[in-house]
Amino acid sequence: MYQIYPRSFQDSDGDGVGDLRGVLARVDHLAELGVHAVWLSPFYPSPLADGGYDISDHTGVDPRLGTPADVRALADALHARGMALLLDLVPCHTSIEHPWFREHPERYVWADAPPNNWRAAFGGPAWSRDGRTGRWYLHSFFPEQPDLDWRRPDVVEAMQGVVRFWLGEGVDGFRVDALDRIAKHPDLIDDPSRTAPFPFPQPPDVAALDQRNSSHWVAGLAEPLEALRSAAGGRFLVGEVYRPTAELGPYLEHLDSAFVFELMFAPWRADAVAAVVERGARLARPSWMLSNHDFSRIGSRIGAHQQRAAAVLLLTLPGTAFIYQGDEIGMLDGPGGDPPEDRHGRDGARHPMQWSADPAGGFTTGTPWLPASDPSMRSVAGQRGHPASVLELYRALIRLRSTLKGGLETVTADPGGLLVYRRGDATVALNLGDGERRADVPGRVVVATAPGVDPARLGPGQGVVACAPG
């Protein structure tokens, strides 16, 4: 699967903002890469308080990005090349500028005064005062994103309508946003202080509390998830649940898959990575990712010299793998906007895709909304057809992936660097450390992080996949 952040993928009309026709113009890149499906981050009408995740019309298209007809055309173009289209479903909140907030305020969560200590995911209180009514509303993210009340049948029905609408437009499934926020403690009781640290990044005021009441209310999960499932029928639903792997089970009872965030935040050591992938692989239907639009890119987190090993890891794990646009050419975090576009500091991972070495990276003929990062260093055109490129490594891995069978069996997880695991007949050996390592892999090397890499002398960030005959 391939994640597209539409504002940063390809601009087709020179306004500096990526759009749906731009995506359509790049479908051949996706086909060449060999991915099976595309997940499009939001393109809906939005005041852009949260990069498009603050939606003012869930069944519309932001006119700067295109029209509903463009969505249909994109679905058709992908289908014609054997690929599927997943949209981003954002069911737990709307933009504060969504007409419902004024016309149907009862669909949100209100109180006369802040009833508890809940914090918003980006920091600060989760309750804000509405200037017009003087009442307080709940927002799990920015104050511009009031939470919907999923205990209300009209909310459930409206979101089911959104799902059905897009399926009717030819869409094949959804990545479902922030699902750990769909069910909260009905009595709105305080979150307790944390006794053990939360394993993923959080602002300090959020990290101080255990979000067991403000989110991930397991007793209330089945109904909303079943409602989404029933609207989606058999279509693919992958949940964004910002929780440790051990807590994903109740979501997977209703979804096809859920992201394993632990991989994103695992220390880059063979023992730590092995523990995370073993836990994730036990889920049966995990979705893996190394980067997305919310966090620093993999190459910037672990070092550019390790990003090829990371690509081999991602694409040899059992389950579903998501590639974030630009990772296939080894893009690193950019400097961000000046002033920043995103209040939560996520510009770095959202710089425009780099198609060519020209100053705007072939992204736009105008002025890009976030500056081009380093297109002269890495671009699709600069790498296509070069066997030693990151792009050709991704293509080779995607081709290999469909032949990998069976579960994951760890062979070596040496804290000094060497990670070796098996998938059926295939053995994967990766050097995640700093020194040279020797790996004994049975069979013939079918993919290597670069031409000529020798398993007997794996340098830092190098790796191979070998297949035993038969």
- Applying CB under 6 A, which residues contact ligand GLC? 50-51, 53, 90, 141, 177-178, 240, 293-294
From the candidates 177, 256, 294, 327, which is the catalytic residue?
A: 177
Check if 436 is active-site.
Answer: no
From the candidates 240, 294, 327, 328, which is the catalytic residue?
A: 240
What's the rounded Cα separation, in Å, for the pair 215 and 232?
23
- Would you state the structure tokens that stand for residue 235, as one six-digit string? 């279509």
Q: How far is the CB of 240 from ligand GLC (least distance, A)?
A: 6
Judged by beta carbon, residue 144 or residue 328, the one nearer ligand GLC is: 144
Check if 177 is active-site.
Answer: yes
Q: Is 444 exposed, middle or buried (0-12, 13-18, 19+ CB in 10 A)?
A: exposed
Judged by beta carbon, residue 53 or residue 166, the one nearer ligand GLC is: 53
Q: How far is the CB of 135 from ligand GLC (least distance, A)?
A: 23
Q: How far is the CB of 5 from ligand GLC (least distance, A)?
A: 9
What's the rounded Cα separation, in Å, for the pair 191 and 217?
12
What's the rounded Cα separation, in Å, for the pair 291 and 311?
11
Judged by beta carbon, residue 48 or residue 252, the one nearer ligand GLC is: 48
Judged by beta carbon, residue 142 or residue 236, the one nearer ligand GLC is: 142
What's the rounded Cα separation, in Å, for the pair 183 and 270?
36
Q: How far is the CB of 350 from ligand GLC (least distance, A)?
A: 10
Q: How far is the CB of 25 from ligand GLC (least distance, A)?
A: 25
Select from 311, 323, 243 the least CA-distant residue to 283: 243
Crossing angle of helices 390-401 and 307-316, rounded to 10° = 10
Judged by beta carbon, residue 95 or residue 383, the one nearer ligand GLC is: 95
Select from 372, 289, 368, 385 the least CA-distant residue to 331: 372
CB 321 within 8 A of CB 1: yes
Which residue sits closest to ligand GLC, CB atoms considered?
53
What separation in angstroms does the CA of 193 have from each of 126, 148, 313?
16, 25, 36
Q: How far is the CB of 129 from ligand GLC (least distance, A)?
A: 21
Angle 395-399-402 (CA atoms, 0-180°, nearest 5)? Answer: 140
Which pairing describes strands 444-448 and 463-467: parallel, antiparallel, or unpaired?
antiparallel
What's the rounded Cα separation, in Å, for the pair 300 and 221?
35
Judged by beta carbon, residue 50 or residue 256, the one nearer ligand GLC is: 50
Q: How far is the CB of 242 from ligand GLC (least distance, A)?
A: 7
Judged by beta carbon, residue 62 or residue 294, the one nearer ligand GLC is: 294
Give the active site residues: 177, 240
